[in-house]
Amino acid sequence: MLHIAYFVLLLALLSGGASSFSQESSSNPEGLVPAVTPSDAAAIPVSEQVTAAEAAIANSDWKAAEAKLTVWLATHPGDARALFDAGYVADAQNRLDDAEGLYRRAVEVNPQSLEAHLSLGLLLARQNKPAEAHPELAAATTIPDRGEAAPALKARAWRALAELDRPSLGSHGDTKAASNDLLEALKLSPETPADTLLAANLADQAGQYEAAEAAYRRVLAKDKESRPAIAGLAHLLIIKKQFPEAETLLRSALEQSQGDTALTAQLATVLAAQDKAEALPLLQKLHEAHPDDATITRMLAEVLAEAGDAVGSDRLYAGLLATAANSPDLLVGHGQNLVRQGQYAEAFATFDKATQLDPASVDGWSGLAFAASHTNQPSVTLRALTMRSKYVPENSSTYFLWAGAYDSLHQKKEAIAYYQHFLDSASGKYPNQEWQARQRIELLRR
Domains, the chain: 1-16+190-307 (1.25.40.10), 32-176 (1.25.40.10)
* pLDDT value at residue 31: 35
Rounded distance between C-alpha atoms, residue 289 and residue 267, angstroms: 16
Rounded distance between C-alpha atoms, residue 32 and residue 96, angstroms: 9
* pLDDT value at residue 10: 43
Nearest to 173 by CA among 219, 141, 204: 204
- Three-class SS state of 437: helix
* pLDDT value at residue 12: 45
Burial 128-166 (b: 16+ CB within 10 A, else e): eebeebbebbbbbbebeeeeebbeebbbbbbbbbbbbbb
Per-residue pLDDT of the chain (446 residues; tens, 9 = 90+): 455 434 443 444 444 444 445 444 433 433 334 555 565 554 456 789 999 999 999 999 999 999 999 999 999 999 999 999 999 999 999 999 999 999 999 999 999 999 999 999 999 999 989 999 999 999 999 998 887 888 999 999 999 999 998 876 445 578 889 899 999 999 999 988 889 988 988 888 888 889 999 999 999 999 988 998 999 999 999 888 999 999 999 999 999 887 788 888 889 889 988 989 898 999 899 899 889 988 889 989 988 998 889 999 999 999 999 999 999 999 999 999 999 999 999 999 999 999 999 999 999 999 999 999 999 999 999 999 999 999 999 999 999 999 999 999 999 999 999 999 999 999 889 999 999 999 999 999 98
Q: N- to C-terminal Cα distance for the chain?
A: 41
Q: Are 266 and 238 in contact (CB under 8 A)?
A: yes
Strand partners, 171: 168
* pLDDT value at residue 24: 46
* pLDDT value at residue 265: 87
* pLDDT value at residue 92: 93
Rounded distance between C-alpha atoms, residue 316 and residue 397, angstroms: 28
Q: Are 120 and 100 in contact (CB under 8 A)?
A: yes
* pLDDT value at residue 412: 95
Q: Are 339 and 369 in contact (CB under 8 A)?
A: no
Provide the H-helix boundaries in 324-430.
Answer: 328-340, 344-357, 362-373, 378-388, 396-408, 412-426
